[in-house]
């Protein structure tokens, strides 16, 4: 089974666009991500967290309406966590995305779900890095990108 999500940026990253592809493979799911328009890395201070690397997760609801521009994509709700695990072990916890002059591409594997289980959820990119321990969301900051996961009838990986 295959799925994809088209990422659009929030008011905090209006040029952010990209795609996330999901493909069932033996034992789990391969995930391919390609985005551009990410904010450039900015180091943090004692009072301000860094901008990037960017937290990246599946969220509960497939709703990417912008809503309040100061709290974008709140309609996607919280992190998807069907097995009620502590943060860092949610089924929807993904590796951070590193901005390379605004561009990121990564491929990874997870055995925590199959594609059928994530249809009509959302993938969300956050402004700050995920620390994988702060409950419930890893202190990853505001939402800068969102895309609804939709079923696809064929693999859409650019490299296939």
- Domain range summary for the chain, segments of one domain joined by +: 2-41+48-152
Two tokens at 108? 């990874």
Two tokens at 28? 């789990």
Say what the pLDDT of residue 160 is: 42
DSSP string, the chain: -EEEEEEEE-TTSTT-EEEEEEEEETTEEEEEEEEE-PPPPB---SSS--B-SBPEEEESS------STTSTTGGG-SB--TT-PPTTS-TTB---B--BTTEEEEEEEESS--GGGTTT-EEEEESS---S-STTTTT--SEEEEEEEEEESS---TT-
pLDDT tens sequence across 70-123: 999 999 999 999 999 888 888 999 999 999 999 999 999 999 999 999 999 999
Say what the pLDDT of residue 16 is: 98
In the block, which residue shows the tokens 């295959």? 2
For residue 24, pLDDT over 50 is answered with yes
For residue 158, pLDDT over 60 is answered with no
Say what the pLDDT of residue 87 is: 80
Contact 50, 43 (CB under 8 A): yes
* CATH class of the domain whose range is 2-41+48-152: mainly beta
């Amino acid at each position: 089974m295959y799925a994809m999500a088209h990422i659009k940026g929030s008011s905090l990253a209006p040029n952010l666009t990209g795609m996330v592809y999901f493909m069932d493979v033996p034992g789990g799911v391969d995930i391919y991500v390609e985005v551009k328009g990410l904010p450039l890395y900015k180091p943090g201070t004692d009072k301000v967290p860094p901008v990037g690397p960017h937290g990246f997760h599946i969220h509960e609801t497939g709703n990417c309406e912008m809503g309040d521009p100061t709290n974008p994509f709140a309609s996607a709700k919280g992190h998807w966590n069907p097995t009620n695990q502590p943060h860092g072990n949610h089924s929807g916890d993904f590796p951070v995305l590193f901005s390379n002059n605004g561009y990121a591409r990564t491929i990874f594997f997870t055995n925590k779900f199959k594609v059928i289980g994530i249809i009509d959820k959302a993938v969300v990119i956050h402004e700050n890095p995920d620390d994988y321990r702060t409950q419930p969301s890893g202190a990853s900051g505001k939402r800068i990108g969102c895309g609804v996961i939709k079923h696809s009838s064929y693999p859409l990986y650019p490299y296939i």
